[in-house]
Chain A
Amino acid sequence: MSEKLLNIEDLSIHYFTENREVCAVNHVALSLDKGETLGLVGETGAGKTTIALGIMRLVPNPPGKILGGRIELEGENLLEKKNSEMQKIRGAKVSMIFQDPMTALNPIDTVGDQIAECIRLHSHVSRAEAALKAAETLEMVGIPRERYGEYPHQFSGGMKQRIVIAIALSCKPELLIADEPTTALDVTIQAQVLDIMNDLKNKLNMSMILITHDLGVVAEMCDKVAILYAGEIVESGTAEHIFDDTRHPYTIGLFGSLPSVAGQKRRLTPVAGLTPDPARLPAGCKFAPRCPHRTPECGQEEVALREVSPGHWVRCRNLEHVKGRE
């Protein structure tokens, strides 16, 4: 079970616009074993999607540029692959589900053909065989195969997302990257879609990176969690570490802004302030300006990740003062 599938080291991705350099992802390290689900959590603009696009090597260039680091998939560095080699990996070994199912499907192709396209790209099968497999994939995500020949505008949002999932899973990838797969869907459909994803993940024995800002989803789906803030990982560990032994002030803040359904009514305690402009990141700890526990030193030097217990890493210099959450 503990066979390593993905290993990211020191990954930095910046966007270069006319007069600014936007530091979207800074020295990120992640690793993922086969069959595991990793949750990438962070606010809008924290760099979650950029990391995902980096793994797919689909960071729009220009303006985006992968500055350095390694992304190893089964020991091979994806950043050294030629584009033609990446084409064979995308969709076959690593697939991605995008945030907005409304716009993720090509409006003028039938949904069946869009699934079959992926199958035909990655296996040498005839048109008819690909269509048959595509129809099976459709059924796998709970859409009757009779609807193979229909177009995206004839489906509801939840169904479109299932089709997007079907495309991503059609070639049985080893790694599925789901970029906020349920953000655009309403709550009842969210649960359905997550169920389907979890089911298929176990059935196909995939690994998954789940990008979300919904800690509820993380609790339900993830083995490991990495909390991202301003392009850096501020806390990472197993789900138990993050949920039961929350250490970083930002993570604590995230939980504070989560309404609880079961418990007594209380005021939400949102994290004060705004995420820093990624083109002008503060020196030292990026979270310091918003941190309730900051000390003068926080704003001066870079803070390294510290291992507080085996596998649980936190980027904070004042851990001694920071009490966990109640």
Chain B
Amino acid sequence: MYRYILKRLLMMIPVLLGVTVIVFAMLQVTPGDPARSILGDDATPAELEAKREELGLNDPVVVQYVRYLADMLRGDLGESYTSGRPVLQEVMRRFPTTMQLTLVGISVSIVLGILLGVTSAVNKGKIVDKVVTVVGMIGISMPAFWIGLLLSQVFALHLQILPATGWYGPRYWVLPALTVGVNGAAAIMRTTRSSMLEVIRQDYIRTAEAKGAPRKSVIYHHALKNSLIPVITVAGLRVGIQLGGAMVVEMIFTIPGLGSYLVDAISFRDYPAVMGGVLVIAVTFSLVNLLVDILYAFVDPRIRSQYGGGKKRKFQKKEVSA
């Protein structure tokens, strides 16, 4: 298992290299001049040229990229063009807020999604199931920014029971978390439902019933636990989507997180800031994916034995063949 985790961590290196290449290339082809963003419209061509030279933007792209990589390996993500402060420091200061938003959001998705999915699967074909399925369809079709605007309109503007902007405590979390969570809840609901329906037909569910297990235990212990693998997969993917979606939601609710930082950085052509922000998100997403794979093993012993469990496995092999 540890070897597996180590292997996966090493595999993150090429992935992250790929991310830097892509983002770097995209920044090169986006129109706009960082020097002009920094100096403003009334700067003279000479001033602009001097600034470009200072930032190293006149060097060949490959040289710029290698320089960036070399700095990165030393833990230096460069300084922001706009604030002049180290990017790493700025990004890490904002990252916890975004992570918090993502975690609260994904929790909303998971709790709502699994509860509704199980309810709908258990009542398959009944009115409850139909209502939940329709609500799920609506939930998955609404874009996050629209949900956000709708929620702040209703709860902040009309009912005035929840704040519409800021990030100062749990009360401020509710609307943004719902906004990022609703799409995910719908996706997880649909996955849970179909996975549960598949599992409920299995023989071991009947075995559990034949043991005299109460319905609750049959559904939540025997059926749900066996249905979790696809649900975990979808939940892991949603974390990635929600990290990216944080940009939109942070703008709507003016949350001082990584998303709004990135949006500002992009519009100012603040190359180091964009690179740094994207890199941190990519690392996080890779780690979440690794976590998902570890969770598989945790849920399903068959996958655990595939990852290789060391001594225990050898012992079992001998036993089975005997």
A-side residues, CB < 8 A to B, are: 56, 58, 83-84, 86-92, 95-96, 98, 100, 103-108, 117-118, 121-122, 147, 150-151, 153-156, 164, 167-168
B67 to chain A, nearest CB (A): 51
Listed by A's residue number, 9 A-B pairs whose Cβ atoms lie within 8 Å are A87-B213, A91-B213, A98-B206, A98-B210, A100-B203, A103-B204, A104-B206, A108-B299, A155-B320
At the interface, yes or no: B49 with Cβ under 8 Å from chain A?
no
4 closest Cβ pairs, A-B complex: A91-B212, A90-B212, A103-B203, A91-B211
B209 cross-chain contacts in A, Cβ below 8 A: 56, 58, 90
Residue ID in chain B nearest A88 by CB atoms: B212
B83 cross-chain contacts in A, Cβ below 8 A: none
A97 to chain B, nearest CB (A): 9
Among B211, B301, B305, B316, which residue has its beta carbon within 8 angstroms of that of A121? B211
A183 to chain B, nearest CB (A): 13
Q: Is the CB of B301 within 8 A of A164?
A: no
B315 to chain A, nearest CB (A): 9
A107 to chain B, nearest CB (A): 6
Convert B203-236 into 0s and 1s, putting 1 for each residue whose CB lies closer than 8 angstroms to a CB of A: 1101111111111000000100110000000000
A106 cross-chain contacts in B, Cβ below 8 A: 204, 207-208, 222, 226
Asked whether A151 and B212 contact (CB < 8 A) given A98-B203, A104-B207, A108-B226, the answer is no
Q: Is the CB of A92 within 8 A of B302?
A: no
A312 to chain B, nearest CB (A): 32
At the interface, yes or no: B202 with Cβ under 8 Å from chain A?
yes
At the interface, yes or no: B42 with Cβ under 8 Å from chain A?
no
Residue ID in chain B nearest A177 by CB atoms: B210
Asked whether A153 and B301 contact (CB < 8 A) given A106-B204, A106-B222, the answer is yes
B192 to chain A, nearest CB (A): 16
B65 to chain A, nearest CB (A): 47
Q: Is the CB of B212 within 8 A of A121?
A: yes
A32 to chain B, nearest CB (A): 18
Complex CA–CA separation, A168 to B207 (angstroms): 9
